[in-house]
């Protein structure tokens, strides 16, 4: 691909100009427009990011000093668990669906998503799931404290908070499955004439593959938590060792979902970075086809490596060797991607606006997370640092600097298209540098803590870990406050303040989304464009 041109240029007299839209609360409650639903997804996910972020700050507050300061260990464990669940199911996944809703129809020249009403239903399931998560803190026994993985047998012994969690996961899973079906059908059936699969922007490709991943894994998670539910209340013994079940089986089923889930949360970010880097390098993406194949290879391999999360449960050496080498194999297609991004920048006419800063930051810091992932893939090392802060550092380098920075790159890149206003570039750069520095202050010391043996999911720790924990806590508060800059910029743009944005504010950006005015009209591509 990646520079498609269309012979469809909407004008003020054109077909795309009619901007009739419902008003008031009905517009949002009964929304069927992909842009409105995308906006709701993005707002919802940012609210959940703040909720999960507050929980993280409560954890870091307790961990500022050794000993118990503010929270009892039971409550601390509820915070760790709900921080993970809310960030994964409430913040990251819905945020990427928001991006998909906004951008996929615009990028493939479709008038809307394939199933507009189902799209509405998928969104409105989310607040129900979020309420169940949040309310579970106030039921007897409190929220789920078994960790986001909900391992048996601990999860079989929890109070009713666990049932709230199980229902929330069911509901959010149903929402994800519907969203995935909608995306696949839209991409496969609703592309504009001439928009062949291999001309699609990489973001659509990464989301198509992600949607297939979701369809394959969310039913497995649903089955796993349903088996938990029946073990808890209906006398079955899937995972209950006392009745002849096997708790390790739960881990196998969970991680068959859980490992591909990591790629569900990162592949769309790869797609965003693959849009941003060429735009600010003023060059087409290097190795488009290899990017597509690498994405597919990552997705396929992600199904074959789940037990690397379980080295410490004990498994035959042949099993350890297989999962170790299979995991290392994933670094090859991932390396292809990193190489292609760097090659795209090579001898490009680079500028460093905020989306590009976040994209380069993503590449740099995500790669660090990838390397620590490789280290963790080595079974003997994994057994040594299993369930320590090394693991926490690793996956926050992947999820925060990976998924979140990728999302910020996309948000700044497309904000002019969404709102019709340019953000304040200076504040955007402040947001990036402040986030980048504070992120590393928070999470880099955790590598050392993990290597020194500090276990995760404990409210207390030995005195020798104090210094690095103090640094991490200061960094966490700095990082949390930095995100308010983005909130301010987003609210300002959405309120129509700031410099008006042209249809294509970026010199090097290509693609159908830039052929429509900014902000994108309520209805776009009612007459499909013809892509050359």
- Active site amino acids: 83, 112, 148, 175-176, 259, 261, 263, 274, 308-309, 334, 337, 456
Q: Figure out which of the listed residues 109, 129, 201, 245 binds other proteins, where binding follows CB under 8 A.
A: 245
| Angle between helices 354-377 and 317-329 in degrees, nearest 10 | 160
Omega before 106 within 30 of 0, i.e. cis: no
Q: Is 153 one of the binding residues for other proteins (CB under 8 A)?
A: no
Helices (H), 63-113: 73-85, 93-108
Q: Figure out which of the listed residues 104, 150, 172, 177 binds other proteins, where binding follows CB under 8 A.
A: 177
Query: Residues in contact with other proteins, total (CB under 8 A)?
Result: 33
Q: Figure out which of the listed residues 48, 104, 218, 446 binds other proteins, where binding follows CB under 8 A.
A: 218
Structure tokens at 281: 């390098």
**Torsion sign across C-alpha atoms 337, 339, 345, 348:** negative
Identify any residues that bridge with 6 across adjacent strands, giving them in sequence order: 531
Q: Is 145 one of the binding residues for other proteins (CB under 8 A)?
A: no
Q: Is 318 one of the binding residues for other proteins (CB under 8 A)?
A: no
Other beta carbons within 10 angstroms of residue 331's beta carbon come to 17
Q: Figure out which of the listed residues 43, 54, 249, 350 binds other proteins, where binding follows CB under 8 A.
A: 249
The 190-209 site mask, x for binding other proteins (CB under 8 A), equals x-------------------
Tokens 């003023």 identify what position? Answer: 282
Q: Is 32 one of the binding residues for other proteins (CB under 8 A)?
A: no
- The answer to whether 522 and 27 are in contact (CB under 8 A) is no
Q: How far is residue 192's CA from residue 155's CA, in Å, rounded to a whole number?
A: 48
The 256-295 site mask, x for binding other proteins (CB under 8 A), equals x---------------------------------------
Q: Figure out which of the listed residues 238, 362, 366, 514 binds other proteins, where binding follows CB under 8 A.
A: 238
The least distance separating other proteins from the CB of residue 420, rounded to whole angstroms, comes to 27
Q: How far is residue 381's CA from residue 310's CA, in Å, rounded to a whole number?
A: 13
Structure tokens at 43: 């707002």
Angle in degrees, CA 427, 505, 187, rounded to 5:
105
Q: Is 239 one of the binding residues for other proteins (CB under 8 A)?
A: yes
Q: How far is residue 356's CA from residue 405's CA, in Å, rounded to a whole number?
A: 11
HSE-CB for 304 with a 13 A CA cutoff: 14
Q: Is 224 one of the binding residues for other proteins (CB under 8 A)?
A: yes
- The answer to whether 100 and 41 are in contact (CB under 8 A) is no
Other beta carbons within 10 angstroms of residue 257's beta carbon come to 21
Q: Is 500 one of the binding residues for other proteins (CB under 8 A)?
A: no
The least distance separating other proteins from the CB of residue 191, rounded to whole angstroms, comes to 12
The least distance separating other proteins from the CB of residue 318, rounded to whole angstroms, comes to 19
Q: How far is residue 211's CA from residue 129's CA, in Å, rounded to a whole number?
A: 20
Structure tokens at 307: 């037990």
The least distance separating other proteins from the CB of residue 286, rounded to whole angstroms, comes to 32
Q: How far is residue 531's CA from residue 524's CA, in Å, rounded to a whole number?
A: 15
Q: Is 223 one of the binding residues for other proteins (CB under 8 A)?
A: yes
The region of 42-50, 215-223, 293-301, 425-433 touching other proteins under the rule CB under 8 A is 215-223
Q: Figure out which of the listed residues 28, 64, 115, 494 binds other proteins, where binding follows CB under 8 A.
A: 115
The region of 230-238, 378-386, 422-430, 490-498 touching other proteins under the rule CB under 8 A is 230-238
The region of 184-192, 290-298, 340-348, 443-451 touching other proteins under the rule CB under 8 A is 184-192
Chain contacts with other proteins (rule: CB under 8 A): 111, 114-115, 177, 180-181, 184-185, 188-190, 215-216, 218-220, 222-224, 226-227, 236-239, 244-246, 249-250, 252-253, 256
């Amino acid at each position: 691909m990646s520079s498609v041109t269309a012979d469809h240029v909407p004008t003020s007299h054109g077909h795309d100009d009619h901007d009739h839209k419902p008003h008031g609360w009905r517009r949002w409650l009964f929304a069927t427009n992909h842009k409105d639903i995308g906006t709701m997804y993005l707002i919802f996910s940012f609210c959940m990011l703040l909720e999960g972020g507050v929980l993280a700050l409560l954890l870091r507050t307790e961990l500022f000093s050794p000993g118990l300061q503010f929270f009892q260990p039971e409550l601390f464990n509820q915070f760790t668990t709900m921080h993970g669940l809310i960030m994964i199911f409430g913040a990251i996944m819905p945020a990427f669906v928001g991006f998909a809703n906004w951008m996929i129809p615009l990028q493939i020249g479709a008038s809307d998503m394939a199933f507009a009403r189902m799209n509405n239903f998928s969104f409105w399931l989310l607040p129900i799931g979020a309420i169940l998560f949040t309310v579970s803190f106030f039921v007897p026994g409190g929220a789920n404290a078994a960790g986001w993985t909900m391992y048996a047998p601990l999860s079989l012994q929890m109070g009713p908070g666990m049932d709230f969690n199980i229902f929330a996961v069911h509901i959010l899973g149903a929402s994800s499955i519907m969203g995935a079906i909608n995306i696949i059908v839209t991409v496969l059936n609703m592309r504009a004439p001439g928009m062949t699969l291999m001309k699609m922007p990489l973001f659509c490709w990464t989301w198509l593959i992600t949607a297939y991943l979701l369809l394959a894994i969310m039913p497995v998670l649903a089955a796993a938590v349903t088996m938990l539910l029946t073990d808890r209340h209906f006398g079955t013994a899937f995972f209950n060792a006392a009745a002849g079940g096997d708790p390790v089986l739960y881990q196998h089923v969970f991680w068959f979902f859980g490992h591909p889930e990591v790629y569900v949360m990162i592949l769309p970010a790869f797609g965003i970075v693959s849009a941003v880097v060429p735009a600010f390098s003023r060059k087409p993406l290097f190795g488009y086809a290899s990017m597509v194949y690498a994405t597919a290879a990552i997705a396929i391999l992600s199904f074959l490596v789940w037990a690397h999360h379980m080295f410490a449960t004990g498994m035959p050496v042949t099993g350890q060797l297989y999962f170790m080498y299979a995991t290392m194999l994933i670094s090859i297609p991932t390396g292809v991607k990193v190489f292609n991004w760097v090659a795209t920048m090579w001898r490009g006419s680079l500028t460093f606006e905020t989306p590009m800063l976040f994209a380069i930051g993503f590449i740099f810091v995500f790669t660090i997370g990838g390397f620590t992932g490789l280290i963790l893939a080595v079974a003997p090392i994994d057994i040594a640092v299993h369930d320590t802060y090394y693991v926490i550092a690793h996956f926050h380098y992947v999820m925060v600097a990976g998924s979140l920075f990728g999302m910020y790159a996309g948000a700044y890149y497309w904000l002019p298209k969404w709102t019709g206003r340019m953000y304040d570039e200076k504040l955007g750069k402040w947001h990036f540098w402040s986030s980048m520095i504070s992120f590393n202050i928070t999470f880099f010391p955790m590598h050392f803590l993990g290597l020194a043996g500090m276990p995760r999911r404990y409210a207390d720790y030995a005195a020798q870990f104090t210094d690095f924990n103090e640094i991490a806590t200061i960094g966490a508060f700095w990082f949390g406050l930095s995100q308010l800059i983005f909130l301010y910029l987003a609210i300002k743009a959405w309120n129509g303040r700031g410099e008006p944005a042209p249809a294509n504010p970026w010199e090097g950006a290509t693609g159908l989304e830039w052929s429509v005015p900014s902000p994108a009209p309520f209805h776009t591509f009612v007459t499909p464009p013809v892509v050359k």
